[in-house]
Amino acid sequence: MSGPKLLRKDRPPPKRPQDPDGTRRDILETASREFAMNGLSGARIDEIAARTKSSKRMIYYYFGDKEGLYLAALENAYRTVRDGEAKLETDGLPPPQALRKLVEFTFDHHHEHEDFIRMVMIENIHHGQYLEGSDVIRRLNVTAIDNIASIYRRGVESGDFRAGLDPLELHWQVSALCFFNVSNRATFSKIFSRDMGDVEHQSRLRKNAVEMVLRFVSAQG
């Protein structure tokens, strides 16, 4: 489960009685799950400590207090997801296909990272006040615009897309469709007695999201 980074010093330690990096990571991962599951006030420090290989004292040792731990978990969530997104490559493709790929990728990616979605929801409940103090997160996200901005620019130049749209707003629309798909699945499914998370619905909703964005930016229409 844990691969301690080799090649850092001569001896890769097989079992350390003291393992600051490992302990820190273990706490952070456990806390991330608990916060994503229960929210900031819903998560319990004692519960997190119990699920950790470490102890409550260590949580305070490394993260100061509950809010410090929450912020670390929030940054962790953004980092994990944005790192994954960096793998998307669309440079070679014609703009419409590139945009299609981006939407499909975003849709799938959000779908696969429910904990991230939940953390963002939770942070929005708190009016983004913890995110506010984190330059880390801002940096991670601002670059996420570059991709869609470049695709859009190419699309306008090639005549496939209409001009006058704002890449940030485009990103907003894509996010809305993909985010909502995960964030509101529970209430939506229960209200309408349909499991919106099953493969059939997901495949249709994914197709819809793509069509919606493509038709929106399309030059003809």
Residue ranges binding DNA (CB under 7 A): 16-20, 22-23, 43-47, 54-58, 60-61, 65-67
Per-residue contact string for residues 43-82; x = within reach of a copy of itself by CB under 8 A: ----------------------------------------
31 makes contact with a copy of itself (CB under 8 A): no
Range in contact with a copy of itself (rule: CB under 8 A) among 19-27, 49-57, 61-69, 190-198: 190-198
Cβ 205 to a copy of itself shortest distance, Å: 7
Closest CA to 123 of 18, 21, 35: 35
Cβ 6 to a copy of itself shortest distance, Å: 34
The item of a copy of itself, DNA, none sharing an interface with residue 55, based on CB under 5 to 8 Å by kind, is DNA
Please check whether residue 171 is in contact with residue 145, taking contact to mean a CB–CB distance below 8 angstroms: yes
Cα distances (Å, whole numbers) of residue 217 to 25, 95, 165, 166, 191: 43, 11, 8, 11, 32
Task: Round to the nearest angstrom and report the end-to-end CA distance of the chain.
Answer: 52
Cβ 124 to DNA shortest distance, Å: 21
183 makes contact with a copy of itself (CB under 8 A): yes
Range in contact with a copy of itself (rule: CB under 8 A) among 11-19, 63-71, 105-113, 167-175: 167-175
CA distance 160 to 214: 10
Q: Could you give the angle at the alpha carbon of 99 between the alpha carbons of 94 and 105, nearest 5°? A: 125
189-196, Cβ contacts within 8 angstroms, sequence gap of 24 or more: none
CA distance 174 to 18: 45
Among positions 184, 195, 197, 202, the unique one binding a copy of itself when judged by CB under 8 A = 184
- Specify the residue, 26 or 107, whose C-beta has the smaller distance to a copy of itself: 107
Please check whether residue 69 is in contact with residue 87, taking contact to mean a CB–CB distance below 8 angstroms: no
Helix (H, G, I), strand (E, B) or coil at 36: helix
The item of DNA, a copy of itself, none sharing an interface with residue 45, based on CB under 5 to 8 Å by kind, is DNA
202 makes contact with a copy of itself (CB under 8 A): no
Please check whether residue 185 is in contact with residue 196, taking contact to mean a CB–CB distance below 8 angstroms: yes
CA distance 178 to 117: 10
Applying CB under 8 A, which residues contact a copy of itself?
A: 38-42, 118, 120-125, 127-128, 131-132, 137-138, 141-142, 145, 166, 168-169, 172-173, 175-177, 179-181, 183-194, 196, 204-205, 208-209, 211-213, 215-216, 218, 220-221
